[in-house]
Amino acid sequence: MAADSSFVVGIIGNVISILVFASPIATFRRIVRNGSTEDFRWLPYVTTLLSTSLWTFYGLLKPGGLLVVTVNGAGAALEAAYVTLYLIYAPRETKAKMVKLVLAVNVGFLAAVVVVTLAALHGGVRLLAVGVLCAALTIGMYAAPLGAMRTVVKTRSVEYMPFSLSFFLFLNGGVWSVYSVLVKDYFIGVPNAIGFVLGTAQLVLYMAYRKATPPPRKGEDDGDGDGDGVAGDEEEGLAQLVTGQAVEMAQRRARLHKGLSLPKASGAPLSSSKPRDGLGSIIKSMSATPVELHSVLHQHGHGHGRFERVKKDDDVEAGE
């Protein structure tokens, strides 16, 4: 009876897992149509290709592992297609990094595991070693979309975290967790239980941000990770603030010269000093460093301090 139940659950798990593996088809249709990989991440596909390849090997080693072989064999074929398409449309620098990793991990590492397992390990130890590797990689596969979750929070947009993938990861983790309990295979159970939890978290995040309004493009990160877009807005705002401070200081200085007739050390006529002081203050303020800007902002709202600063500037310029 338990065997029949596990077989039925395994068939359901096969169907759901294949849907999970097929869910990026829409993503790659978009990549092919636009001729660009955009901001889609390539690491999950490389990780999943290695994971499905090792699970296929695990199913071949495990007695009664037919359902494990069928689902992961299909998954490995699909992931190999995704990796190939990504390599075709990726930027040159990304492509170079990706090729190195694919050759090192999906070819070199996989071949080493197969050779060492078949040549040096025997019996239960062989299955144990491969099972531990498979479980670790499956956890990595489920954890890979964490980067997409971070992007969702940062951009307030679910564009790069497709609902279908999150939903089927949730179902896949749940079904295979049940299967692992029925067949008492904890190498399958532990990573899929973690996947179930992460899939649930992705669904919650999707529901939270699916109707959120993304920030304006001008303020978004430009994609290279250095935050130039946000910095540009901040610098523009600071420039406007400094310019406003400079104009205000120039106007106050003009009023002080006119109302108090403050003497100039050089004895220059007042009428000739006003335009030069105002223009000089504006130019100096627009080129202010962050430290100088902090000093200007600190003096804002303190009349006496501002008066002393104006008088000091006048004396320095007179000395020049």
How far apart (Å, rounded) are the C-alpha atoms in residues 82 and 74?
13
Nearest of 150, 152, 267, 269 to residue 207 by alpha carbon: 152
**Which pLDDT belongs to residue 99?**
94
Amino acid of residue 85: L
Checking if the pLDDT of 34 tops 50, the result is yes
| CB count in 10 Å sphere of residue 61 | 17
More confident residue, 182 or 165: 182
**Which pLDDT belongs to residue 214?**
60
Q: What is the pLDDT of residues 109-128, one digit of tens each?
A: 999 999 999 999 888 899 99
The average pLDDT across 16-32 equals: 88
0.75 cut: is pTM over it? no
Are 161 and 151 within 8 A, CB to CB? Answer: yes
How far apart (Å, rounded) are the C-alpha atoms in residues 247 and 251?
6
CA 229, chain centre distance (Å):
16
**Which pLDDT belongs to residue 252?**
54
**Which pLDDT belongs to residue 116?**
95
Domain residue spans of the chain? 2-214, 232-319
**Which pLDDT belongs to residue 19?**
82
Structural element, H or E, at residue 145: none
Checking if the pLDDT of 98 tops 70, the result is yes
Checking if the pLDDT of 316 tops 80, the result is no
Checking if the pLDDT of 307 tops 50, the result is no
**Which pLDDT belongs to residue 285?**
42
Are 146 and 154 within 8 A, CB to CB? Answer: no
Checking if the pLDDT of 24 tops 80, the result is yes
| CB count in 10 Å sphere of residue 92 | 6
Amino acid of residue 122: H
| CB count in 10 Å sphere of residue 112 | 10
5, HSE (Cβ side, Cα atoms, 13 Å): 10
The average pLDDT across 57-70 equals: 93
Q: What is the pLDDT of residues 233-287, one digit of tens each?
A: 444 444 444 444 444 555 555 554 544 444 444 444 444 444 444 444 444 444 4
CA distance to 86, 157, 178, 200, 203, per residue, from 168 (Å): 22, 20, 15, 10, 10
Checking if the pLDDT of 141 tops 80, the result is no
Q: Which residues contact 260 (CB under 8 A, 6 or more apart)?
A: none
Nearest of 66, 149, 79 to residue 110 by alpha carbon: 79
Q: What is the pLDDT of residues 179-228, one digit of tens each?
A: 999 998 989 999 899 888 888 888 888 888 877 666 655 544 444 444 44
